């Protein structure tokens, strides 16, 4: 078995381009689709306030995770709104503001509430400072104000209307997980197909005459396919985690462990398809059809949470990608432990055992 793995590694070193190409395509798809699905709304700002005061106010406004406020002039703001280049423009004043919105300002109400909150905090602090004339007293008030913010008298708990059944969306992780689980199918299939090629070329019949056992031939090829598929997804996740700074919500290590049962299941599925295929072109056709179909049903292209058609949801239960996505989102977005994602992991392992058993039996019982 070691000799088979070493042979595969030598062939990989000679021709690594398929692995590199599939990895790069997955990275590009995940990056551009994830990036395009989330962006901050840019709001141009103009004002007649002094430069220092305006800078402090804009810094306060730019604490938002949804909006970016950029200073410019009145003419540019109005032209941008008129040409549809921005949703809204803002005129900052001493104690008030004017919000100008276009015809299709989707975030107008949210933007207005946020700016009003910033102004309210600003005016409250100024009203307290106005009661003290001396610099010493103002510095004392500033110190008290900062301590009050750090250690408030009242502890307020915030709750929203999201119940236990509602879902959390993260477009970056959705695209990363979805395309990684999808493209790894092709990487594993490209390696498993060597079993079909060698059996058709009668190489296995000659190898069985030597000291190599049949289980070693299966084990070497399937183990190599698993390692290459797992390595690809780990490289992609690591590139996004440490290179692009994607937030895994503290579950990066758990995602690497959850990939193991998923990759095992895909190896078993490719083995089953190889056993049912009589020709190489038939294997390629079946794998392409299965990969795209299972990705659509499993929520790789779009969140399965937005699908409401009962038939699609029922058919999705047969897709390994559904359980892979469920487990990966569970340990990242929801902060689940391994016990809480035991169900999808168990289903993946069960699928792997069943498909691998059927695939090897079918491969052995019929002449390829």
pLDDT, position 155: 52
Cα→Cα distances 325→72, 205, 227, 263, Å: 44, 40, 20, 12
pLDDT, position 352: 92
Average pLDDT over residues 22-37: 65
Average pLDDT over residues 272-295: 86
pLDDT, position 178: 84
Is residue 6 pLDDT above 90, yes or no?
A: no
If we measure between CA atoms, which residue out of 270, 263, 230 comes closest to residue 355? 270
Q: In CATH, what is the architecture of 41-150?
A: 3-Layer(aba) Sandwich (3.40)
Is residue 135 pLDDT above 70, yes or no?
A: no
Question: What 3-state DSSP class applies to 238?
Answer: helix
Q: At 157, which helix (H) or strand (E)?
A: none
Average pLDDT over residues 86-114: 76
pLDDT per residue as tens digits for the range 211-222? 667 767 777 778
Question: What 3-state DSSP class applies to 341?
Answer: coil
pLDDT per residue as tens digits for the range 240-249? 888 777 778 7
Is residue 145 pLDDT above 60, yes or no?
A: no
* Pairing status of strand 88-92 against strand 67-71: unpaired
Cα→Cα distances 289→164, 294, 323, Å: 36, 8, 19
pLDDT, position 85: 76
Residue written as token pair 């104690």: 95
Average pLDDT over residues 264-279: 88
Lowest mean pLDDT among 91-100, 104-113, 154-163, 316-325: 154-163
Q: What is the secondary structure of 79-115 as a DSSP string?
A: HHHHTTS-SEEEEE-SS-EEEEE-TT-TTHHHHHHHH
Average pLDDT over residues 30-34: 61
Is residue 75 pLDDT above 80, yes or no?
A: yes
Is residue 138 pLDDT above 70, yes or no?
A: no
* pLDDT bracket for residue 76 (50, 70, 90): confident
Domain spans of the chain?
A: 2-36+169-365, 41-150
């Amino acid at each position: 078995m070691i000799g088979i793995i070493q042979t595969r590694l030598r062939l990989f070193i000679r021709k690594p381009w398929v692995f590199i190409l599939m990895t790069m395509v997955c990275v590009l798809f995940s990056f551009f689709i994830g990036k395009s699905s989330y962006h901050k709304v840019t709001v141009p700002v103009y004002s007649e306030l002094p430069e220092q005061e305006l800078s402090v106010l804009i810094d306060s406004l730019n604490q938002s995770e949804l909006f970016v406020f950029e200073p410019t002039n009145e003419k540019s703001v109005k032209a941008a709104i008129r040409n549809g280049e921005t949703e809204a423009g803002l005129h900052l004043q001493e104690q008030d503001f004017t919000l100008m919105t276009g015809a299709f300002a989707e975030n107008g109400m949210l933007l207005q509430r946020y700016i009003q909150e910033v102004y309210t905090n600003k005016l409250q602090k100024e009203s307290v400072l106005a009661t003290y004339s001396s610099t010493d007293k103002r510095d004392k008030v500033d110190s008290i104000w900062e301590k009050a913010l750090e250690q408030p008298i009242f502890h307020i708990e915030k709750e929203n209307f999201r119940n236990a059944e509602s879902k959390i969306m993260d477009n970056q992780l959705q695209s990363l997980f979805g395309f990684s689980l999808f493209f790894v199918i092709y990487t594993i299939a490209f390696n498993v197909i060597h079993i079909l090629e060698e059996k058709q070329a009668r190489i296995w019949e000659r190898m069985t005459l030597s000291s190599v056992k049949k289980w070693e031939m299966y084990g070497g090829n399937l183990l190599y396919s698993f390692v290459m598929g797992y390595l690809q997804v780990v490289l992609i996740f690591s590139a996004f985690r440490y290179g692009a700074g994607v937030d895994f919500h503290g579950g990066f290590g758990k995602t690497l462990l959850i990939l193991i049962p998923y990759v095992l299941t895909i190896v078993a599925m490719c083995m089953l398809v190889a056993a049912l295929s009589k020709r190489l072109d038939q294997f390629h056709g079946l794998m392409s059809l299965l990969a795209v179909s299972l990705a659509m049903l499993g929520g790789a292209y779009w969140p399965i949470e937005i699908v409401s058609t009962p038939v699609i949801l029922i058919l999705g239960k047969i897709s390994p990608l559904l359980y892979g996505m469920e487990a990966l989102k569970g340990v990242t977005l929801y902060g689940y432990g391994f016990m809480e994602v035991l169900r999808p992991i168990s289903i993946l392992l069960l699928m792997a055992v069943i498909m691998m058993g059927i695939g090897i039996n079918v491969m052995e019982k019929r002449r390829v």
